[in-house]
């Protein structure tokens, strides 16, 4: 009886994850083709690419006024990222860490978690608090793109706090936008210069062809004069003696050979010039076509993929959330428990698979950076967007149990990062046991 609901739940999750991948790839390609700056692409698309499933499912739940699903999804994803994803990476291979990973991004992750705790003390997240989350997230991205890349020395958490409270991100955002506008103007000027250059080349090609035609006419006139001269010479030769005739014949033969060689050489030179002129003309035309006529078939293909990705996200998120609410009502458990288990684990599966692949290839440390960045994104971006759509109401289980455990396991992660600057296998096992024990406890308590 419930087979259809299970299939819709799984199918919705698959559509959601696959649609997110297609959407990020196609939208980045189209934005770059239309001259959108790399800064804007990185800020809006690439940075949230791995969190699109969580964002789409949380926004859909927020429109359905299912606050429990939103809170459970965000908290559950943060906990699963540490207790499931990081622990798996550590069990497969020791994860190397760095001091910067702790003192900058690690502390920012912890700060966002404590700020979340401060906001939920009244059992809700208002639109103002959601806006603060979003503002912090934008400041964090600008901080990474501007301050971190421009400084040779390491930039830490205290530098981020100064950056935020001094409103430096507003000036950096203005500078970035102005740079993007200037870049597009310069790109337009370059295209116009290429077009003018190709037109000038076409004019030169036509002029060269006209000169070549005149040269051919002049050669024909010279050939006729040579023929008449030869006839006169033959007439004179008839009057001369046999010795003079032989001598003259030898001279004519030599002249003829030289004349033939000159004619052939001239023809070869003209032919070579014409070939080079044609090749230059074709090359310039190809450049002009590349500038004026970008691949319309590729653009149409990527646009169709973009539309398909958006439809897959919308349809997948809708069925995924609807069936999550259905199972919560069927099992008579709070929506928060469904959010922290089915929804959170389902949307974290792609990150888990990437982590396993990275750990086997010897790049387990990459997974740790992705987890910290994903937790920051979940707290600041997803809660910010969902709270703006509709204020989020929290239950006692979220405030008294799930949130404190998220803070605890986050502190454990930062502690393990510091011990020897690597997360060892037994530390990964501890994180996994903590996660498993908490899930058993929370369902038993629920």
Per the CB < 8 A criterion, the answer to whether 327 and 13 are in contact is no
Q: What is the pLDDT of residue 268?
A: 46
172 and 229, same domain (yes or no): no
87 and 18, same domain (yes or no): yes
73 and 43, same domain (yes or no): yes
67 and 134, same domain (yes or no): yes
Closest CA to 22 of 303, 300, 299, 352: 303
12 and 143, same domain (yes or no): yes
118 and 156, same domain (yes or no): yes
232 and 311, same domain (yes or no): no
Q: What is the pLDDT of residue 133?
A: 97
Instruction: Say how many domains are in the chain.
Output: 2
Q: What is the pLDDT along the chain (446 residues), one digit of tens a residue?
A: 688 989 999 999 888 888 888 887 787 787 777 766 555 555 555 556 667 888 899 999 999 899 999 999 999 999 999 999 999 989 988 888 888 788 888 999 999 999 999 999 999 999 999 999 999 999 998 888 777 666 656 788 988 898 888 888 787 777 767 766 666 677 667 867 777 777 778 777 777 777 766 665 555 555 555 545 555 545 444 545 444 435 444 545 444 444 454 545 445 445 444 544 454 444 444 444 444 444 567 888 888 888 888 888 889 888 888 888 888 888 888 888 889 988 898 888 777 877 777 777 777 777 788 788 889 999 999 999 999 999 999 999 999 999 999 999 999 999 999 988 889 999 999 999 999 999 999 988 76
What CATH number corresponds to the domain at position 165? 1.20.1420.30
By the 10 Å C-beta count (0-12 exposed, 13-18 middle, 19+ buried), 227 is classed as exposed
Q: Which residue segment(s) compose the domain that 286 sits in?
A: 182-292
414 and 282, same domain (yes or no): no
243 and 350, same domain (yes or no): no
53 and 129, same domain (yes or no): yes
Write down which residue in 257, 292, 327 finishes a domain: 292
252 and 363, same domain (yes or no): no
Write down which residue in 292, 323, 346 finishes a domain: 292
Write down which residue in 292, 326, 352 finishes a domain: 292
Report the DSSP pairing between strands 422-423 and 95-96. Answer: antiparallel
For the entire predicted model, the pTM comes to 0.70
174 and 208, same domain (yes or no): no
Question: What is the SS3 assignment for the chain?
Answer: CCHHHHHHHHHHHHHHHHHHHHHHHHHHHHHHHCCCCHHHHHHHHHCCHHHHHHHHHHHHHHHCCCHHHHHHHHHHHHHHHHHHHHHHHHHHCCEECCHHHHHHHHHHHHHHHHHHHHHHHHCEECHHHHHHHHHHHHHHHHHHHHHHHHCCCCCCHHHHHHHHHCCHHHHHHHHHHHHHHHHHHHHHHHHHHHHHHHHHHHHHHHHHHHHHHHHHHHHHHHHHHHHHHHHHHHHHHHHCCHHHHHHHHHHHHHHHHHHHHHHHHHHHHHHHHHHHHHHHHHHHHHHHHHHHCCCHHHHHHHHHHHHHHHHHHHHHHHHHHHHHHHHHHHHCCCHHHHHHHHHHHHHHHHHHHHHHHHHHCCCHHHHHHHHHHHHHHHHHHHHHHHHHHCCEECCHHHHHHHHHHHHHHHHHHHHHHHCCCEECHHHHHHHHHHHHHHHHHHHHHC
Instruction: Report residue 125: phi and psi, to 5°.
Output: -120, 110
CA angle at residue 311 from 305 to 317, to 5 degrees? Answer: 130
């Amino acid at each position: 009886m419930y087979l259809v609901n299970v299939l819709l739940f799984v199918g919705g999750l698959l559509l959601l994850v696959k649609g997110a991948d297609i959407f990020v790839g196609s939208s980045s390609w189209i934005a770059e083709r239309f001259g959108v700056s790399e800064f804007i692409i990185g800020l809006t698309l690439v940075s949230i690419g791995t969190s699109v499933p969580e964002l789409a499912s949380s926004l859909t739940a927020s429109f359905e006024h299912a606050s429990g699903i939103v809170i459970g999804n965000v908290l559950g994803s943060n906990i699963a990222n540490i207790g499931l994803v990081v622990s798996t990476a550590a069990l497969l291979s020791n994860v190397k860490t760095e001091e910067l990973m702790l003192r900058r991004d690690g502390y920012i992750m912890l700060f966002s978690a404590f700020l979340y705790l401060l906001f939920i003390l009244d059992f809700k997240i208002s639109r103002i608090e959601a806006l603060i989350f979003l503002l912090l997230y934008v400041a964090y991205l600008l901080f990474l793109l501007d301050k971190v890349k421009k400084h040779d020395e390491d930039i830490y958490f205290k530098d981020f706090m100064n950056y935020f409270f001094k409103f430096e991100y507003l000036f950096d955002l203005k500078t970035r936008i102005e740079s993007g506008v200037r870049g597009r103007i310069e790109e337009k000027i370059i295209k116009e210069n290429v077009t003018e250059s190709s037109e000038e080349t076409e004019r030169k090609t036509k002029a060269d062809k006209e000169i070549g035609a005149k040269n051919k006419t002049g050669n024909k006139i010279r050939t006729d004069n040579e023929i008449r001269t030869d006839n006169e010479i033959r007439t004179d030769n008839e009057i001369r003696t046999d010795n003079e005739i032989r001598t003259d014949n030898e001279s004519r033969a030599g002249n003829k050979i030289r004349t033939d060689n000159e004619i052939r050489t001239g023809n070869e030179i003209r032919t070579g010039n014409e070939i080079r002129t044609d090749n230059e003309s074709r090359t310039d035309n190809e450049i002009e076509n590349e500038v004026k006529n970008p691949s319309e078939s590729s653009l149409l293909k990527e646009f169709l993929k973009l539309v398909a990705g958006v439809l897959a996200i919308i349809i997948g998120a809708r069925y995924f959330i609807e069936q999550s609410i259905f199972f919560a009502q069927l099992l008579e458990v709070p929506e928060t428990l469904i959010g922290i288990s089915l929804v959170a684990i389902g949307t974290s599966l792609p990150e888990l698979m990437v982590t396993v692949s990275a750990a086997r290839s010897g790049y387990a440390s990459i997974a740790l950076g992705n987890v910290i960045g994903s937790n920051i994104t979940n707290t600041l971006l997803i809660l910010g967007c969902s709270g703006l759509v509709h204020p989020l109401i929290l239950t006692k289980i979220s405030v008294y149990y799930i949130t404190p455990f998220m803070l605890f396991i986050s502190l454990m992660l930062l502690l393990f990062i510091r011990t020897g600057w690597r997360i060892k296998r037994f530390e990964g096992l501890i994180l996994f046991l903590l996660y498993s024990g908490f899930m058993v406890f929370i369902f038993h308590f629920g």
